[in-house]
């Protein structure tokens, strides 16, 4: 197929990079978002997300005229749906005493309905939002066929999983292999023709439901492996073992690669996608559900670890370093760091939280500050919840001059305990049952 104009619905962490990449490869791209602040920011030369290199590319695409942004879709050769699919708690469905978390598909439904008035014969519609299996077939087809056109006969329809890492999106968008699943072979081929415009990785064709399941499997696999690491950290506490030493030694086995424990799992993918399997087949997804329970409860384990190290939390002045769900990104969605900070405040701690990649973030439950110095001032305890490079590079001697705190709770293993001890700090690492320092 020959694509000249495409419409990307949703200008978030993957939608905006996708729209920009197509625009920089010569296509006319209409970027659509229902958030007026996002539209205004982009039209005024700004950018609403932190991603290395993206701001420059967006400005170039806007100046060239290839990328325009607006609040509603327009007629195009192809439509790509990149809207969020969060979960919500459903008290009606209970599995082992726990409420289900179900996929919230309202944004996908709304975006699909917005395409209907503009759908023409020969168009391609691609869903990229992470979705439960059979979403493309069972949800999108009936909506799109309200146009009077038949899926497969009159227009092409496909699903392709987003599989990029925040902080490295622009490279992975181009270089990673791309899976495209159509409702029929012609739709798969049409999807391949579209993404071949910029994808350098291998483009592999399958059916839509398989492609949907591939995305969920990838993130569920990671979630289960993180759950194992987090559970190992709890066992290490119980048995008086340094989990970091144990993992390092276990990983010397040629077929073992244990991941790092941490404060929990966050972001819009790994912490969300496994629930779609639990929702769709609760009788078969017992391992997946258990891994979710482990990772969702990790913030409580961290809170108890802080309490053991610091004593009663009521009135304690605590500096929280990092609110993002992973290192060197500004993504706070489903972040366990935010949950832990909220729980500290609920315990009566006087919290000052500093997130260098989103210093203007605001929460009702706790105070945020725009600088590291503001967080450190008068703190009694430092809690590191994100492994940002800036925190790894901290000079403990300088930190010691900026704060009266001498206890550091390191949930990301970013501090060298010996170096910080020399500066007068006691470092408590998550899962260090030996309590050497």
CA 122, 83, 55, 266 torsion-angle sign:
negative
Residues in contact with 371: Cβ distance below 8 Å, sequence separation at least 6, in sequence order: 354, 359
Residues in contact with 290: Cβ distance below 8 Å, sequence separation at least 6, in sequence order: 227
Quote the CA–CA distance of 191 and 124 in Å, as a whole number.
7
Quote the CA–CA distance of 103 and 40 in Å, as a whole number.
29
Quote the CA–CA distance of 267 and 166 in Å, as a whole number.
9
Quote the CA–CA distance of 192 and 211 in Å, as a whole number.
13
Cβ burial 112-123 (10 Å sphere, 16+ → b, else e) = bebbeeebeeeb
SS3 call for 321:
strand
Mutual orientation of helices 273-280 and 208-239 as an angle, nearest 10°?
A: 110
C-alpha distance from residue 334 to each of 68, 166, 326, 418 (Å): 30, 14, 11, 33
Token pair listed for 432: 């260090």
Which member of 7, 70, 215, 436 is catalytic? 215
Quote the CA–CA distance of 49 and 57 in Å, as a whole number.
13
269 is catalytic: yes
β 381-384/367-368 pair status: unpaired
Which member of 269, 326, 352, 415 is catalytic? 269
Unique residue bearing structure tokens 């392709």: 160
Residue 284 CB neighbours (<10 A): 11
Q: What angle do CA 300, 368, 415 make, to 5 degrees?
A: 60
SS3 call for 32:
strand
Q: Among candidates 189, 183, 131, 177, which has minimal Cα distance to 157?
A: 183
70 is catalytic: no
Quote the CA–CA distance of 62 and 69 in Å, as a whole number.
9
Q: Which residues are catalytic?
A: 215, 269
């Amino acid at each position: 197929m020959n694509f000249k104009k495409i419409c990307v619905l949703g200008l978030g962490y993957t939608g905006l990079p996708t729209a920009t990449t197509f625009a920089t490869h010569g296509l006319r791209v209409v970027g659509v978002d229902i958030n007026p602040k996002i539209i205004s920011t982009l039209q005024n030369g700004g950018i609403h997300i932190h991603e290395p290199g993206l701001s420059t590319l967006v400005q170039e695409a806007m100046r060239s005229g290839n990328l325009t942004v607006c609040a509603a879709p327009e007629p195009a050769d192809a439509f790509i749906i990149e809207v969020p699919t969060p979960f919500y708690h459903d008290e009606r469905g209970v599995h082992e005493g726990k409420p289900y978390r179900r996929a919230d598909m309202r944004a996908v439904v709304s975006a699909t309905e917005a395409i209907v008035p503009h759908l023409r014969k020969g168009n391609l519609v691609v869903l990229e939002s992470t979705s439960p299996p059979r979403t493309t077939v069972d949800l999108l087809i009936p909506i799109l066929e309200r146009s009077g056109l038949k899926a497969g006969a009159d227009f092409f329809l496909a699903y392709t999983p987003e599989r990029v890492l925040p902080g490295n999106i622009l490279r992975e968008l181009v270089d990673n292999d791309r899976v495209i699943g159509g409702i029929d072979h012609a739709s798969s081929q049409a999807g391949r023709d579209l993404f071949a415009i910029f994808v350098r990785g291998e483009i592999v064709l399958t059916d839509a439901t398989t492609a949907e399941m591939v995305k969920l499997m990838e993130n569920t696999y990671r979630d289960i492996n993180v759950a194992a690491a987090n559970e190992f950290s709890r066992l290490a506490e119980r048995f008086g073992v340094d989990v970091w030493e144990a993992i390092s030694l276990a990983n010397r086995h040629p077929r073992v690669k244990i991941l790092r424990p941490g404060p929990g799992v966050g972001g819009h993918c790994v912490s969300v996608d496994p629930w779609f399997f639990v929702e769709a087949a609760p009788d078969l997804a017992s391992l997946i559900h258990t891994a979710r329970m482990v990772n969702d409860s990790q913030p409580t384990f961290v809170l108890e670890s802080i309490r053991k190290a610091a004593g009663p939390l009521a009135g304690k002045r605590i500096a929280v370093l990092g609110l993002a769900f992973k290192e060197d990104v500004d993504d706070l969605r489903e972040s366990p760091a935010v949950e832990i900070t909220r729980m500290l405040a609920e315990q009566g701690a006087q919290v000052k939280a500093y997130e260098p990649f989103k210093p203007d973030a605001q929460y009702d439950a706790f105070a945020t500050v725009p600088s590291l110095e503001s967080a450190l001032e008068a703190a009694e305890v430092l809690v590191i919840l994100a492994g940002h490079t800036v925190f790894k590079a901290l000079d403990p001697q300088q930190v010691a001059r900026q704060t009266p705190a001498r206890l550091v709770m390191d949930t990301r293993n970013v501090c060298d305990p010996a170096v910080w001890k020399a500066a007068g700090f006691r470092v408590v690492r998550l899962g260090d049952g030996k309590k050497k320092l």
